[in-house]
A = this chain, B = another copy of it.
């Protein structure tokens, strides 16, 4: 039988990482998907992006991303402005409150990200 121990350790580390990430996000009043939405907007070039670009980065359908963005707008985490190049395209950006919560969650997960990377490296 193949050596399954490295793949098994990788999966356990991923499960811990995702669970901790959910716990920290919820403590800041964000669902796991809202946290990923804020992260992908802030992590995009110039801190702005579109729904189409987000579907690829979030690996979700366009309709799910559209709903996620609408809800985030309603609760004041995200704003949209019309693209100067194409009036049909909306550019998304974080509000100061969105930035504050993203920074809080991202900062608390620093140790988790480092731990995940270290474990993955150790299994090479």
Contact = CB atoms under 8 A, between A and B. Distances in A.
Nearest to A15: B59
B120 A4 contact: no
A27 interface: no
Interface in A1-60: 1-2, 4-12, 14-16, 18-19, 36, 39-40, 42-44, 47, 56-59
23 contacts: A1-B42, A1-B47, A1-B103, A2-B103, A4-B106, A6-B43, A7-B39, A7-B109, A8-B39, A8-B40, A8-B42, A8-B44, A11-B36, A12-B40, A12-B56, A12-B57, A12-B59, A14-B18, A15-B59, A19-B59, A116-B120, A117-B120, A121-B121
